[in-house]
Amino acid sequence: MLLRLVIWARNIRKTLTLFALTSFVSATCPAADLESAANRQEDSKESLLIPARDSIDKSSGAPLWTISIEAIALGRSNNVNQALVSRVPGSNSFYSTAVENGAEAFNSNQFQQGFAAGPKLALTYHADAGYKIEMSYFQVSSMTASKTIGPDNPGNWLVMKVPGGFWQTQDFPNQGMTWGATTNLYNAEVNSKFDISKQAVVLAGFRWIGLRDSLTGSLTPGDKNVPSWKTGPAGGCYGGDPALDQISSCVVGAAVNGYPPFWSTSTVNNLFGLQAGAEGTLFEVGRLSFGGFIKAGVFNNRASQTGWVSIEKQMYSSGATTNQAAFMGEGGIQIKYSIADDLLIKVGYNLLWLGNVALAPGQIPQTRAGQNPTSITATGVNASSNVLFQGVTLGLQYAF
């Protein structure tokens, strides 16, 4: 009995002690605080594995792409020094114009090709650590110019001569000699860019430039009769060798609807190569910024020329192709204005210089005329010319 009482007393003491400890903890640490502490412990564990919500929002909200849509208008200067029209006194006989030098009346370097417009597009991907990849394209077609010399009063022979033995005059006294030029320019490039500071970017990439140039010579107005007086004694007109003022009195032959140009040359330049450059912002004032860029590159130019020549109203063709090192330099300035958070309007001025390209007037000395049988041969491609393009751009830039 005494042993049972001792065990019962000990159990009562343990129960009272446990109750006292529980009451003390409850009084000093409420259940809500215990739960909050447990939650904080769990949150701290999760924070080691999952980024903060603010950092996720910032990362997902930053623009990954920039698109630029612009219009570009360019004109060209620099041309080949090639005489296209000379004047010989009309009192000279027809065949003497083949050997008479005459006075130069028009040179290909006098062409003033007007401005032409086209699209300019660019798409940029923004990667991490300041790296970007940009793809861009533009084209400007039909930069044209035309010049007509004559007819003169009193009349002069208007003569076009080729070192290879071809020469052309007007067929009738009322005609002038018209020359037209057309240039088309195409450009595509892919560049890798790296931000070296907030205001400066360096770039390197691959670029293709396509340059098409053409030259056409014709008589204006076109022939209304076959100029059979040029065929010699059988033409029955002063032995086929009249002075200019004698031609109208001996016109023979049937009426015609016109002939194709007496001379036509076209060149194609495909420049493939690498370039490097830099671009940057010079200063900013509020929403307005002013910047610029420069690029330079070395290319392989796959150049070709094709010519069509009329000899006694029959057309003959020739052509040639070559590969040659070419060079490019480009620069420009640009003003941007932010009209919304991710939308800019921009206007700029661009210069593009190409060295060692084939231009149409430069192919005239490369052409040889043969006799018995009549033929035209291209002795090669003159790809040593330079050309400068300059103009303006206007468009929008959007980041998303």
Contact in structure between 215 and 360 (CB atoms under 8 Å): yes
Indicate if the pLDDT at residue 120 is higher than 90: yes
Backbone angles phi, psi at 232, to 5 degrees: 105, -160
% pLDDT > 90, the chain: 69
DSSP string, 72-129: EEEEEE-----EEEEEEETTSBGGGGGT---EEEEEGGG--PPPEEEEEEEEEEE-GG
Indicate if the pLDDT at residue 212 is higher than 60: yes
Tokens, residue 164: 């290879």
Backbone angles phi, psi at 37, to 5 degrees: -60, -40
In a domain, 76, yes or no: yes
Tokens, residue 377: 């041969």
List the CATH number of the domain containing 165. Answer: 2.40.128.90
Residue with tokens 């006694």: 312
% pLDDT > 70, the chain: 81
Q: Is this structure's pTM higher than 0.85?
A: no
In a domain, 96, yes or no: yes
Indicate if the pLDDT at residue 213 is higher than 60: yes
In 3D space, the residue among 331, 364, 360, 332 whose CA is nearest the CA of residue 346 turns out to be: 332
Q: Which domain holds residue 321?
A: 62-223+258-399
Contact in structure between 262 and 176 (CB atoms under 8 Å): no
Predicted local confidence at residue 231, as pLDDT: 67
In a domain, 316, yes or no: yes
In a domain, 237, yes or no: no
Indicate if the pLDDT at residue 41 is higher than 90: no
In a domain, 253, yes or no: no
For residues 15 and 96, membership in a common domain is answered with no
Instruction: For residues 119 and 136, give the distance between their C-alpha atoms in angstroms, rounded to a whole number.
Output: 11
For residues 353 and 211, membership in a common domain is answered with yes
Indicate if the pLDDT at residue 214 is higher than 90: yes
Tokens, residue 326: 């070419």
For residues 350 and 388, membership in a common domain is answered with yes
For residues 67 and 43, membership in a common domain is answered with no
For residues 36 and 72, membership in a common domain is answered with no
